[in-house]
Chain A
Amino acid sequence: MITKPGDVELIANAAGLAEVKGRSLWQDARRRFMRNKAAVAGMIVLVFIGLFAVFGGFLAQYPNDYVDFTLTGAGASNGVPSIETGHYFGVDPDGRDLYARTVQGTGISLMVGIVGAMVAVVVGTLYGATAGYVGGRTDGVMMRIVDILMSIPFMFVLILMLVIFGRSILMLFIGIGLISWLDMARIARGQTLTIKNKEFVEAAVATGVRPMTIILRHIVPNLLGIVIVYATLLVPNMIIFESFISFLGLGVQEPMTSLGALINSGAGQMNYGRLWMLAYPLFFFLITLFAFFFVGDGLRDALDPKDR
């Protein structure tokens, strides 16, 4: 529901890409990717954002939970961004250094996105590949389960879980992981169906290799292209998803924060002459999403031979 199923269609368009051509496919793809300026720019931006999230904290003049009591609440209007005070991005409504918080929030948001995508990759791929490879009744049952899970309003269930079990990063990851793998499982299954009749798989079967080994050694590696594309497009959706959870006040616990939480608290201040509280986190949020979308689109075009 949240994972923008449209992306599944985008990926499905790329369905032809898994034609197994060994190394040449990847070389081809890289050449095509490098020609796509938007995608390359996105990649560079992502590297910078990653560096910002990991090492940006070393430049911060204040810890992310340190409150300057002269700049808290009513005084926050004086916490304008300034190099001299060391508050490069100003302060948040509670008088804490927004730069340090943006660094830390970017880290959490990226982590949520990446963990969500990784769960999707691992669970979704294995599940889909197994269903597709084994086929028959097992396939039927496994895919029906996916159908059933897909018609559960997961956003509602996640809200319930966070309300009931209390918020924690772990609960957020579990919730996001629960949702993210479903589409991936469908895509992986579809691809597996076309791969499993290929000669190299039949050869492996003939030589008595165990089914699990075949799935892991022969099927999964050949799903990699499409999985990478889908995972890249999944990350920004997970980040958007987390921001919505933060909006409901169900995100990570203080003093930790995420870009979504920062944007939400900044959005409340925008008519109070404190636009920077919204602007900085929103800027990082937007460029991160832009970068992921461009890289994802670039990867899809690069790995899709049809669009040459």
Chain B
Amino acid sequence: MTLKATLRASTAAALIAMGGAALADGHATHPVTGATLATEQVFTYRVLDEHSSLDPGVVEDVSGSEIVRDLFEGLMNDDADGNLIPGVATGYTVSDDKLTYTFTLRDNAKWSNGEPVTAGDFVYAWRRAASPELASPYAWYMSLMAVEGVDAVIAGEAPLDSLGVSAPDDHTLVVQLSTPLPYFVQMTTHATTFPVPQAVIEEFGDAWTQPDHIVSNGAYVLSEHVPQERSVRVRNDMYWNNDATIIEEVVALVINDENQALTRYLAGELDRTEVPAGQYPRLSEEYPDEALSFPRLCNYYYTFNLREDGPEAFKDVRVRQALALAVDRDVIVDNVLAGGQSAAYTFTPAATADFTVPSVEMAAMTQDERNARAVELLAEAGYGADNPLAFEMLYNTSDAHRSIAVAMSQMWKQTLGVEATLANQEWQTFLEARGNGDFELARGAWCGDYNEASTFLDLLQSGSGYNDAKYDNAEVDELLMGARTAEEPQINYTRIEEIIAEEMPVIPVYHYAGVYMLNDALMNWPVDNVQQNWYSRDLYKVAE
């Protein structure tokens, strides 16, 4: 039997398409909500830093991916709630062994130069993303997707056409997987899988993403890019659903300093900016319609170094427990950050789809109980006034990380008499030190690549390259493996979280929230999309 996965065509999208014509006159209204639209539909937002690239195959940072999602369109998109909706693909089928996916592509998708978007464009893009020649830092994403033969292609041991992706005709894309992957289709909303225009790339080489050259198939095209200053994208008239697009122009301004960005937001130069740590309570009081906070799919933790040559003290589970217990997470989320983040006692965020946070003992205790227990445990482990525990905690340079590290080190000092020395490093140096095990306790954070608990828990698998603690527990490995094919993976995830809570290889601190100042005329921001895969074509501005 072949499982036919029909995707519910969004009725809203159809309605928008019909009402699009109303935009022509000055009193346009939104086709769904009926709100009067502003005459100037320009969305300006702040980005912290220059994006790494606009090449879908290469882009690796959040701000770059946001732009790429507007410029290009992959097989599937996210809707405002994070559910899958059709993109270039109108639907797909999965074979019985769950190893072959067949996507049907829409026939009206076009590149911005008028050429049709074909399955061949996807095949080219996927091969290119995995090719040694492009040497994309995101080539690993292709192997995460378990596409047949991808590892050999990346290593340069097999030709590009051995990759398990093919185009029987212009509107059919077939993907072969090497292992069943329940969340495979979700992964196709990511930039690495987007199609790229072969002819343009071959003509201009690395410079193909510059505004004069770029050809894209998304709702917008790049019209201007001044590195470290701004990039501008405007409506793409060739986009298959162009009639539904309301925002005419999207401007991303690079503003490094978050306080400076907030000042400029308040001066009306921006429609969106991040709220600096600790400022949300004040801003939400002063600007209740503009300050915004919602959960995101990211965690924040400190990881112990559990390697052989790591600190002796951390090999004692009581020490790890004591340190984890003595962190008053409520102070961190309510005072230090104060932006609606939630205290974390488990590794996986509660916002994760189909995931129920297991009840762990620590979460149920009061902070006084935790502190008392921590003091007991540390004394049992043999540390006290005559033999104080001392270690170094490493974080990367940033005001918010500093504030959290300062608070945590003082909690340990005031509750347990532990001496934690702070050490901050530049991002690249920090990554090197953490990756090489050149640390005692180090900050970590992870944002889900896809909306499923394994994207987080995989970090604690013994063989994972991201397992900086080098935590090694055979039961956890087994449970993770089992979850991939299990009918009810939650059972495995619950057990893993319980093991983590017992053995405490990492100290979960909090789960992220998106904390924004958002112009109250800008509508339809997908606050319920925990991965924050937003598309400018879904937004609109109402008349004030």
Q: Is the CB of B278 within 8 A of A73?
A: yes
Bound Cα distance from A254 to B403, whole angstroms: 10
Q: Is the CB of B410 within 8 A of A66?
A: yes
Q: Is the CB of B259 within 8 A of A268?
A: yes
Q: Is the CB of A164 within 8 A of B429?
A: yes
Bound Cα distance from A253 to B337, whole angstroms: 22
A168 to chain B minimum Cβ distance, whole angstroms, is 10
Q: Contacts A69-B407, A96-B406, A253-B422 known; A265 to B335 CB distance under 8 Å?
A: no
The segment from A52-60, A74-82, A193-201, A299-307 that touches chain B is A74-82
Q: Is the CB of A163 within 8 A of B429?
A: yes
The verdict on B399 contacting chain A, using a C-beta distance below 8 Å, is yes
* A96 proximity list for chain B (CB < 8 A): 406
Binary contact track B252-296/A, C-beta < 8 Å → 1, others 0: 000001010011000000000000111111100000000000000
The verdict on A94 contacting chain B, using a C-beta distance below 8 Å, is yes
Query: Nearest B residue to A249 by beta-carbon distance?
Result: B397
Bound Cα distance from A249 to B396, whole angstroms: 11
Q: Is the CB of A74 within 8 A of B338?
A: yes
| Contact among A72, A76, A163, A265 with B426 in the assembled complex (CB-CB below 8 Å) | A163
Q: Is the CB of B425 within 8 A of A73?
A: no
Q: How many cross-chain pairs have Cβ atoms below 8 Å apart between A and B?
A: 81
Q: Contacts A73-B338, A74-B338 known; A254 to B406 CB distance under 8 Å?
A: yes
Q: Is the CB of A65 within 8 A of B337?
A: no
Task: Say whether chain B's binding surface is mostly helix, strand, loop, or mixed.
Answer: helix
A92 to chain B minimum Cβ distance, whole angstroms, is 10
* B397 proximity list for chain A (CB < 8 A): 249
| Contact among B279, B280, B335, B422 with A254 in the assembled complex (CB-CB below 8 Å) | B422
Q: Is the CB of B263 within 8 A of A254?
A: no
A38 to chain B minimum Cβ distance, whole angstroms, is 36
Q: Contacts A69-B331, A73-B335, A74-B278 known; A271 to B263 CB distance under 8 Å?
A: yes
Within 8 A of B (CB), among A107-165: 163-164
Q: Is the CB of A76 within 8 A of B278?
A: yes
Within 8 A of B (CB), among A5-31: none
Query: Nearest A residue to B260 by beta-carbon distance?
Result: A268
Bound Cα distance from A52 to B153, whole angstroms: 66
The verdict on B328 contacting chain A, using a C-beta distance below 8 Å, is yes
* B407 proximity list for chain A (CB < 8 A): 67, 69, 72, 94-95
B216 to chain A minimum Cβ distance, whole angstroms, is 36
Bound Cα distance from A268 to B402, whole angstroms: 15
Q: Is the CB of B282 within 8 A of A72?
A: no
B145 to chain A minimum Cβ distance, whole angstroms, is 35
Considering residues A66, A76, A95, A253, which has the most beta carbons from chain B within 10 angstroms of its beta carbon?
A95
Query: Nearest A residue to B410 by beta-carbon distance?
Result: A67
Bound Cα distance from A76 to B403, whole angstroms: 12
* B280 proximity list for chain A (CB < 8 A): 74
Q: Contacts A94-B407, A254-B405 known; A72 to B399 CB distance under 8 Å?
A: no
Considering residues A76, A77, A94, which has the most beta carbons from chain B within 10 angstroms of its beta carbon?
A94
B189 to chain A minimum Cβ distance, whole angstroms, is 35
Can you sample 11 A-B contacts with CB below 8 Å?
A: A65-B410, A73-B337, A74-B338, A77-B282, A94-B407, A95-B335, A95-B407, A249-B397, A254-B402, A255-B409, A271-B263
Give the A-binding residues of B (Cβ under 8 A): 257, 259, 262-263, 276-282, 328, 331, 334-338, 397, 399, 402-403, 405-407, 409-411, 413, 422-426, 429
